[in-house]
Amino acid sequence: MHIEVKHVSKTFGTHKAVSDVSFGIERGKLIGLLGPSGGGKSTLLRILAGLESPDSGDVYINGKRVNDVPPQQRGIGFVFQNYALFKHMNVYDNIAFGLTIRKADKKEITARVEELLDLTGLRGFERRYPHQLSGGQRQRVAFARALAPRPELLLLDEPFAAIDAKVRKELRTWLKQLIATIGITSVFVTHDQDEAVEVADEMLIVQQGRLEQQGPPLAVYTAPQTAFVASFIGHSSVIEKPQLLRGFEHRAELNGGRAIIRPEFVEVGREREIAYPSAAAKGTIRHVFFRGAHLELDVQVGDNRVSAYRSLDQEPLKPGEEVYVLIHRLYHITDQSAVMLENPLKVDPLPVHI
Ligand code: ADP
Ligand code: MG
């Protein structure tokens, strides 16, 4: 393991910001550290950087315990949300800064800055000052500056949070490619699940200072291990009376419990459109929302409300219309876990002879 965090805790006053967190990061991986605001992401990152010291637990880089190693000796590059560029320095000097203070050889500095200008697409901008750049360009300077001293770990704390949505998407793709090219171990903090899913090789989900789950985006999405992860990742409806849903009436464990259903688990439509009508219940369309590429349906089924998607190519459904609702599967939520249950009524219909 390149980076190891073992049983790290940190309390501010009486508030436990990080609570017994342990994880490992393999060399060259891009980790998405994801969780709600106030969950402890920045504190964890600052502990990795040495800007904050843990109350208990240990941090290892390359197998060496670094608890007592000061930040500037840990070989870390840090990029923050608020550009934090030096306003009075041009792009070239900003990128060169980390090398200049280390009193690197002048030729060496020039060569490295030139290389980074190319790598980050900033060639031609080297004489500009931060106020003459767009938000996206400033963040690229911040990357180049962090990378200049060849850190072995790159830490990014919500680097795109202050940038508008379209540019943010472009920067994500750019960043993922850049990091893959350089091959540097990186931790990317975000509260935006789409950003984490798109960028990360592996995700760490934190909430209230605890690590809820670690794994590749697809695994976290398809197999959430905790109730929190099941509700936080993906778009989900919380179902208070899952034992009333068609197909799940005989699951004793659902009595008095809750379930989470994602829109992609639900098929809504006219009878002939549904793959297994006998496994479906009747429901009523309450609202239809236009979501750009598809429609989102809000549907009443008995005492429960579920969301489903509908393609724009299909016949439109209107509020008030009676429809068939097939719940393919759901997550049963308990205090500690999220267990997926399949609808057992989904059996192949009899073949039709024409
Ligand atoms: P995140 O980055 O996930 O939003 P933080 O790590 O910044 O969360 O904060 C976690 C919790 O710790 C928050 O409740 C925050 O108010 C608290 N906290 C963070 N840093 C300090 C500090 N220096 N002093 C007191 N409380 C802090
Ligand atoms: Mg933060």
> What local confidence, expressed as pLDDT, does residue 350 receive?
58
> What local confidence, expressed as pLDDT, does residue 243 receive?
93
DSSP assignments along 121-170, one per residue: T-TT-TT--GGGS-HHHHHHHHHHHHHTT--SEEEEESTTTTS-HHHHHH
- Enumerate domains of the chain plus CATH numbers: 3-224 (3.40.50.300), 235-342 (2.40.50.140)
Could you give the CA distance from residue 4 to residue 245 in angstroms, rounded to a whole number? 44
pTM: predicted TM-score of the whole model, two decimal places:
0.86
CA of 183 to the centre of ligand 2 (A): 25
Residue 289 near residue 231, CB atoms below 8 Å:
no
* DSSP run (H or E) holding 231: helix 227-232
> What local confidence, expressed as pLDDT, does residue 352 receive?
58
Residue type, 337: S
Q: Is 43 in the pocket of ligand 1 (CB under 6 A)?
A: yes
Closest protein CA for atom 16 of ligand 1: 38
Could you give the CA distance from residue 82 to residue 162 in angstroms, rounded to a whole number? 7
Q: Is 48 in the pocket of ligand 1 (CB under 6 A)?
A: no
What are the residue ranges in the chain where pLDDT is below 70? 83, 348-354
> What local confidence, expressed as pLDDT, does residue 149 receive?
95
> What local confidence, expressed as pLDDT, does residue 348 receive?
63
Q: Where are the alpha helices (DSSP H) in 153-216?
A: 165-182, 193-199
The tally of CA atoms less than 13 A away on the side-chain side of residue 130 is 18
Question: Which ligand 1 atom minimizes the distance to the CA of 18?
Answer: 10
Q: Is 17 in the pocket of ligand 1 (CB under 6 A)?
A: yes
For 288-319, letters b (16+ CB in 10 Å) and e give beeeeeebebebebeebbbbbbbeeeeeebee
Q: For residue 101, how many other CB atoms are within 10 A of its CB?
A: 10
Q: Is 40 in the pocket of ligand 1 (CB under 6 A)?
A: yes
Distance from the first to the final alpha carbon of the chain: 62
DSSP annotation of 218 reads: H
> What local confidence, expressed as pLDDT, does residue 83 receive?
64
pLDDT digits 0-9 by tens, 168-190: 999 999 999 999 999 999 999 99
